[in-house]
Structure 1
Amino acid sequence: MRARARRRAAAQGATVEEVLSRAARQRSAHYDIFLSQTIRDAEIVLGVYDLLTSAGYKVFCDWIEAPTADRSQVTPANAAFVRATMGVSDSLLFLDTEGAVQSLWMCWELGWFDAAKGTVGVLPVLEEHERYYRGREFLGLYPYVELDEEGGLKVVRPVVAGPSGVMMFEAPNSRSFDSWRADPRDFMRPRVVGGLGR
C-alpha cells in the first residue's frame, strides 16, 4: 500500500499529503465503504483509498471526503457527523495498522457500525516480513479482507480457538467482498461454540 501511494504521488508530482488534499470532493449520498483509519497512516491510507476507488467502490475517508471536519476533538457535532456518514455506508473496513492503536475514533466507529449494521471487516496492513494476519485483541473476532488471486477483495472468516484451545476453521472460509456487502446474512464471524465459563 505504501508503494502504491508513492506511485500515485509520483505520477502527480506531489507529496502524499498534497494528493490526499487534492482528492477531496463533495460528500456522496451513499458509500460502499466507510474507511475507519487514522491520519497518522497517511501514506497507507492513500494506497488503500487508491486501491478501493480504482476497484469502483465509493469510499468515505474523512480527511479526503470532509477535509474541513476537525476530528482532533471528540464533540457531539463530530460524533453526529460520523454517525450520519456511517448511516449511509454499506460496510466499514477497519484499517488495522500500528497507528490504529492510538486513534480516538476507530474503536467507537467499529462498535457503532457493528451494532447498527454488522458488515464490519478488518483491513490489515502487514509488514513485508509478515505472511498471515492474526487479529489483535477484539479485532480477531471480525473477518478480515484480503486480495484474491484476481486482485479482487474477499472477506475471510477468522480462525479462532475453541473452548479447549483447539483452532477452529469454519466453512465457508471466505466469500467475495461484494456478496458479503450485498447479502450480509453471514457476517463471516466465528460462531459461538460452548457457553460462557463460570
Structure 2
Amino acid sequence: MPINLGTLRSAASRSRHYSTASNSQSARALGYRTAFLCHSHQDRTLVLGLLQLFREQGLNLYVDWMDSEMPATTNGDTARKIKNKIVEADLFLFLATPNSLASRWCPWEIGYADGKKRHESIFVIPTTEHGTNYGNEYVDIYRRIDEADQGGLAAWNPRQHSGGIYARSL
C-alpha cells in the first residue's frame, strides 16, 4: 500500500539528525547502499521522513542532495552531475508526490535512469494522501517500495501484491 504523506511527515519529526556520508565513495566505505533519490526539493520534510523510515528498517542510505560534491544551486553543471550520480548509485528511488510528479526534473531523471540502470535497481515509492494515490503511472513498470501489511517497508515487483521483500534486504 502506498506510503501516506502524513506518515512521512510524522517520521521526519522523529528524526533529529540524519547523518550520512559526504559523498558516494565514503558512503561505500561505510558499507551504505547508495541511492539516487529522485524527489522535489519542495518535499524536503517528506524526504527526511523517508530516510527515517529506511533507517528504522535497518537500511542506511546515501542520497545525492546531502553530497558535498553537488552544486548548491541548479546550474549548467547540475544535469551532468545528476546523470553521473544516477549511473554511479546502487539504486534509483523515485519518491512519487504531487510535487515530484509536477517537477520538470523528476520525469527526466526517471527516464534517464530507465535508459542507464538495471531495471531491478529502479524503485518507485508511491504515496497517498486524502484518498489520492501518487505514482500509479509508474508502478506497473518499475519495482515499488511501500508499506508492508505487517509493518515496515517492503519492495515489490510490478503487479505483485504478496511475497515482497523487506526494504532492509535491498
> TM (normalized to structure 1)?
0.63
Off by >4 Å, runs of 4+ in structure 1: 171-174, 177-181
What's the CA shift string for 1:15-66, capped at 9, x where partnerless?
xxxx57xx46510224432211111011111100122234343434333234
Deviation at 1:5, TM superposition (A): 0.6
Aligned with residue 176 of structure 1, among 159, 165, 170: 165
Mapped to 1, the partners of 2:57 and 2:69 lie a distance apart of 23
Mapped to 1, the partners of 2:123 and 2:81 lie a distance apart of 21
Aligned with residue 47 of structure 2, among 27, 30, 45: 45
Q: Decide which structure has the larger Cα Rg and report it.
A: 1
Counterpart residue type for residue 27 of structure 1? N
SS at match of 1:3: helix
Task: State whether residues 144 and 155 of structure 1, in contact with CA within 8 Å, keep that contact through their aligned partners in structure 2.
Answer: yes
Task: State whether residues 96 and 124 of structure 1, in contact with CA within 8 Å, keep that contact through their aligned partners in structure 2.
Answer: yes
Q: Between Structure 1 and Structure 2, how many residues are aligned? A: 154
Counterpart residue type for residue 22 of structure 2? Q
What's the CA shift string for 1:155-183, capped at 9, x where partnerless?
2423xxxxxxxxxxxx68553266995xx
Structure 2 unaligned blocks of 5 or more: 1-7
In structure 1, the residue matched to 2:3 is: none
Deviation at 1:3, TM superposition (A): 0.6
2:57 matches 1:55: yes
Percent of aligned pairs with the same amino acid: 23
Deviation at 1:100, TM superposition (A): 0.6
Structure 1 unaligned blocks of 5 or more: 13-18, 159-170, 182-198
Which one has a larger percent helix, Structure 1 or Structure 2?
2
Mapped to 2, the partners of 1:178 and 1:43 lie a distance apart of 21
Cα pair distance change 1:173/1:151, threshold 3 Å? closer
> TM (normalized to structure 2)?
0.71
Higher normalized contact order (CA 8 Å, seq sep 6+, divided by chain length): 2
Cα pair distance change 1:134/1:85, threshold 3 Å? closer
Cα pair distance change 1:102/1:134, threshold 3 Å? closer
Structure 1 residues 63-72 or 140-149, which shifts more?
Answer: 63-72
Task: State whether residues 24 and 34 of structure 2, in contact with CA within 8 Å, keep that contact through their aligned partners in structure 1.
Answer: no
Cα pair distance change 1:175/1:139, threshold 3 Å? closer
